[in-house]
Structure 1
Amino acid sequence: MVVLETAAQPLVILAQAMLFVKLKVVADMVSLCSRVALKAWLIALYPSHAIWAYCVGHAVSSALLVVIYYGTLLWHVRSPDNCLPVKSASELGPRLVPGQPALDRDQLALTWSFFKQGLLKQLLTEGERYLMTAFHLLDFSEQGLYDVVANLGSLAARFLFQPVEENAYVYFSRTVERGKPVSAAAGRVLHDLLRAP
């Protein structure tokens, strides 16, 4: 499912850049409705195979999303009044550029760094759940109770830091410009925010 939806991402970005808002709305609506309808139908037919129905519904809706985006953008490419920056269907897919390496070392290093950060974040935020499930430390009712208590415990911190985050976002979006040096005042505010207990 992830691979299918990733295959459509370049076209999703192209559609957004060309302001094809109706395409996104229709594609998401058709994908969501097909997923829900197929899951409901399969669960009604095979109630003991709910997980299987869930997987099939997601796979079909992901494939449908890819077909809608590729079909619509291929239709635009082949139409006489093509408004897209691509002139042929072969430009919509991945291809090697002559004289360029297949993998850019800088982008590969950046991707590896993001992967490691994402894995570390996942382990730090969901690690206790993995341990509870893998080693059967708690049964499902105790895990549910643990999740409720953990989420309620984090509400205080969320309520406390949400206004700080929102105000910092507004401040930095007005004082820091992309591609320009950061002012000393903005640097001090960031330092104070990060050092505050």
Structure 2
Amino acid sequence: MVLDCARIRPLEEAAVISDHALRKGAGGKPRRRLLGESQTKRGSRRALGLLDVLDGRSESAGETWTRLLLHAFGLHNFTLQVEIPTREGLFRADFADPEARVIIEFDGAAKYNDYRPAEEVLIAERRRENALQELGWAFFRINWKHLDRPGELRQRLFTFLARHPGTQKRPLPA
């Protein structure tokens, strides 16, 4: 099913489906072999390109889309699900560049509504963010609205990164 999606769906949609499959335990290496052995050649190049960008550490569709945009922007130093110890406990950043001490968080509604009362979640999130800022980390938050405007997001993100030490090595906006 993942290869079929990869052959016919746009990259972002196929990546969301495939990242989820990887997260649930589907292996990536057999897919390359299956793709090579398949009689169906239509869409094979597209599927092969997709296999190069998959990452089962993505915990949501928003994280997958964010990761794809970061790569499209030339920002390859951000790693998914980086664990950072703080005085408030272990924090897992959606994306982090440890050298630059920059965290990018995708904020989907599920984070604030599905598991605990929103007020409780927001207070805990604020405590973790404060603890990380005390350690020198800077935050950039992205939500669905931002993903719909990649040009605007790119400009905002590069402006943000230009203000933080360690990020000057990145490409400048065009």
Q: Is the helix fraction higher in 1 or 2?
A: 1
TM norm structure 1: 0.23
TM norm structure 2: 0.25
Specify the structure having the higher radius of gyration (Cα). 1
